[in-house]
């Protein structure tokens, strides 16, 4: 076999290898794109609600145990200053409420059910107060993200009012900017199950709701 034939065969061999690698890269990219699309579609299928019912350690612990809830994030909303700290909102002077952002799958749990649980896990008749926690930061609040959420919240409040002698003081307001609370507040009950507040306030609430 002369050198020309050897050269031609070598070029063909290299071309086949390159084509094979290219095909693998295309398949890998398609798989990656498909996975990313699935993740995006999954995220798009989720809905969000923002609620405040006293100390966010309590409400977070409740909704983290609810089927259909993907994630619960503790934070602050409804105040006058950006990026508030826990120390600042504890003064009650910033206007923020301790709230939770709930990411949920509407195919597994409805917003109406979220509100029902919200009504069961705190007292909606005490103004700026939940148990021993007092101040505007502990107010009962529903911060709606759509007209549908607003309408459902108003319906919930009206129906709940028929079950209580005292007025329902839960505010229903458009969702303002949500600020994530400090890391040590996230998953507080799960990380600190034997802390005093968790033992004497949160755990009895979870047992009452059959969540523990």
- Give catalytic residue positions: 55
Cα(165)–Cα(43) distance, integer angstroms: 41
Question: What is the 8-class DSSP label of residue 181?
Answer: P
- Contact partners, residue 2, CB within 8 Å, separation at least 6: none
How many residues make up the chain in this entry? 212
Strands (E), the chain: 47-53, 69-77, 97-104, 129-130, 133-134, 140-144, 171-174, 178-180
Structure tokens at 70: 């993907």
The HSE-up count of residue 99 (CA atoms within 13 Å, CB side) is 31
């Amino acid at each position: 076999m002369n050198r020309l034939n050897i050269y031609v065969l070598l070029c063909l061999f290299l071309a086949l290898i390159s084509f094979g690698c290219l095909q693998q890269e295309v398949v890998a990219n398609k798989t990656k794109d498909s996975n990313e699309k699935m993740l995006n579609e999954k995220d798009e299928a989720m809905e969000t609600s923002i609620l405040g019912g006293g100390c966010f350690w309590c409400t977070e612990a409740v909704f983290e145990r609810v089927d259909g809830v993907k994630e619960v994030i503790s934070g602050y909303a409804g105040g006058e200053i950006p990026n508030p700290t826990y120390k600042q909102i504890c003064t009650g002077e910033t206007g923020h409420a301790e709230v939770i952002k709930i990411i949920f799958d509407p195919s597994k749990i409805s917003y109406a059910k979220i509100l029902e649980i919200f009504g069961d896990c705190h007292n909606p008749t005490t103004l700026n107060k939940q148990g021993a926690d007092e101040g505007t930061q502990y107010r009962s609040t529903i911060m709606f993200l759509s007209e549908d959420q607003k309408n459902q919240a108003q319906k919930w409040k009206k129906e709940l009012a028929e079950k209580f002698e005292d007025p329902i003081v839960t505010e229903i307001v458009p969702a303002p900017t949500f600020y994530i609370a400090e890391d040590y507040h996230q998953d507080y009950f799960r990380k600190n199950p034997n802390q005093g507040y968790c033992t004497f306030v949160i755990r009895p609430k979870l047992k009452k709701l059959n969540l523990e």
